[in-house]
């Protein structure tokens, strides 16, 4: 009985202490807890996927993409999440896949690093979250993955105590380094891009969409690229289209939900939407011999329909005044429908099911 009474008293005192701690944490330190949860923070997300193979057969491959976004988190420290799929471990040995992830600034200084250990062949997926106190919009960074693939074969036992000795314990170890340099969109550019693509989108009319594809198949981009600005440089043409061609929706200009205007029509009206601006810019680059291979690309950015111009490895977005390396801009591209130059046209896989979206 006395023992039970002691337990009751002990549990009661413990409960009071715990309750006091909870009340104190809520009433005394809300400034420590709540802002970390409720205040949105700018962050950079780097997504990397390794496909790990037997190094005696083929090299492992890497796909890296990044994006900048804003969100609320329960923590404010850099983090890395690792997942794997299609895991396979050969019967002949154990596979260990160690990865050193390093983020460096433009001067080669290490800003952050982390080591992960996985086992088996197959898909290794990394999701790295870095907050704004580490990475600054507008700056250039390098993410480096140093991978060590180690295959430790199982020892083979002799058939009898007096048989031949075990197979030598040979360890296969391969170390490789992959890296990707990227530039974060500066804050104003990102805001322009988000403000545009977050507007309610207009879906394509099915009949018009098929007419558009038929025209592009038959005449390529020459049907639309029929006029040019009087400019002498790529930069001058880009800035003119951005500043002097007003952004207006197709429904307001042409009375239909979607309309791909010829360059001459956009020039005559002095206005157009994203594909109209892009067509005029690409047409100007073509006819003024500034770039005969400039192409108009139609797809999705941040999940919304958009169009832009590509010249070599660079993207010119005359709707949002953004010029970026293609590898950086494509971090925000979520689908590709088709692209065309003056004398070529290619329909992309993502175009399936695009009608009526």
Portion of the chain with pLDDT greater than 90, in percent? 28
Residue 5: pLDDT above 60? no
Residue 340: pLDDT above 80? yes
pLDDT grade, residue 349 (50/70/90)? low
Find the mean pLDDT for residues 80-84: 71
The 3-state secondary structure of the chain reads CHHHHHHHHHHHHHHHHHHHHHHHHHHHCHHHHHHHHHCCEEEEEEEEEEEECCCCCCCCEEEEEEEEEEECCCCCCCEEEEEEEEEECCCCEEEEEEEEEEEECCCCCEEEEEEEEEECEEEEEEEEEEECCCCCCCCEEEEEEEEEEEEEECCCCCCCCCCCCCCCCCCEEEEEEEEEEEECCCHHHHHHHHHHHCCCCCCCCHHHHHHHHHHHHHHHHHHCCCCCCCCCCHHHHHHHHHHHCEECCHHHHCCCCCCCCCHHHHHHHCEECHHHHHHHHHHHHHHCCCCCCCEEEEEEECCEEEEEEEECCEEEECCCCEEEEHHHHCCCEEEEEEEEECCEEEECHHHCCCCCC
Render pLDDT for 231-287 as a digit per residue (tens, 0 to 9): 999 999 999 999 999 999 888 999 888 899 999 999 999 999 999 999 999 999 999
Residue 288: pLDDT above 60? yes
What pLDDT is stored for residue 76 in this prediction? 52
pLDDT grade, residue 347 (50/70/90)? confident
Render pLDDT for 179-233 as a digit per residue (tens, 0 to 9): 888 777 776 777 777 666 655 555 667 778 888 888 999 999 999 999 999 999 9
Find the mean pLDDT for residues 135-151: 83
What pLDDT is stored for residue 70 in this prediction? 63
Render pLDDT for 9-44 as a digit per residue (tens, 0 to 9): 555 555 555 555 444 433 333 333 333 344 566 677
What pLDDT is stored for residue 356 in this prediction? 42
Give me the domains of the chain, ranges plus CATH numbers: 41-183 (no CATH), 187-351 (3.10.620.30)
């Amino acid at each position: 009985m006395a023992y039970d009474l002691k337990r009751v008293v002990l549990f009661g005192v413990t409960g009071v202490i715990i309750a006091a701690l909870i009340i104190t944490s809520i009433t005394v330190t809300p400034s420590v807890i709540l802002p970390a949860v409720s205040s949105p923070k700018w962050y950079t997300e780097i997504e990397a996927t390794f496909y790990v193979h037997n190094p005696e057969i083929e090299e492992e491959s890497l796909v890296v993409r990044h994006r900048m976004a804003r969100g609320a988190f329960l923590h404010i420290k850099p983090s890395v999440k690792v997942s794997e799929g299609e895991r396979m471990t050969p019967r002949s040995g154990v596979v260990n896949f160690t990865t050193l992830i390093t983020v460096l600034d433009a001067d080669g200084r290490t800003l952050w690093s982390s080591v992960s250990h996985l086992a088996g062949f197959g898909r290794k997926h990394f999701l790295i979250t870095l907050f704004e106190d580490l990475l600054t919009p507008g700056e250039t960074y390098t993410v480096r993955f140093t991978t060590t693939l180690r295959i430790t074969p199982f020892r083979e036992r002799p058939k009898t105590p007096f048989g031949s000795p075990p197979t030598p314990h040979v360890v296969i170890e391969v170390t490789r380094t992959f890296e990707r340099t990227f530039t974060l969109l500066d804050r104003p550019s990102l805001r322009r891009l988000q403000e545009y693509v977050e507007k309610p989108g207009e879906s394509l009319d099915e009949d018009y969409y098929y007419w558009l594809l038929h025209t592009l198949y038959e005449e390529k981009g020459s049907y639309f690229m029929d006029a040019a600005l009087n400019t002498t440089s790529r930069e001058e043409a880009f800035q003119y289209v951005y500043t002097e061609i007003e952004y207006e929706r197709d429904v307001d200009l042409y009375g239909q939900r979607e309309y791909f205007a010829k360059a001459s029509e956009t020039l005559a009206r002095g206005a157009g939407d994203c594909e109209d601006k892009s067509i005029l810019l690409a047409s100007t680059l073509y006819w003024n011999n500034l770039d005969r291979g400039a192409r108009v690309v139609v797809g999705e950015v941040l999940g919304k329909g958009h169009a832009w111009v590509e010249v070599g490895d660079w993207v010119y977005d005359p709707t949002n005044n953004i010029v970026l390396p293609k590898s950086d801009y494509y971090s925000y591209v979520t689908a590709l429908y088709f692209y065309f130059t003056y004398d070529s046209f290619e329909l992309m896989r993502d175009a399936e099911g695009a009608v009526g979206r």
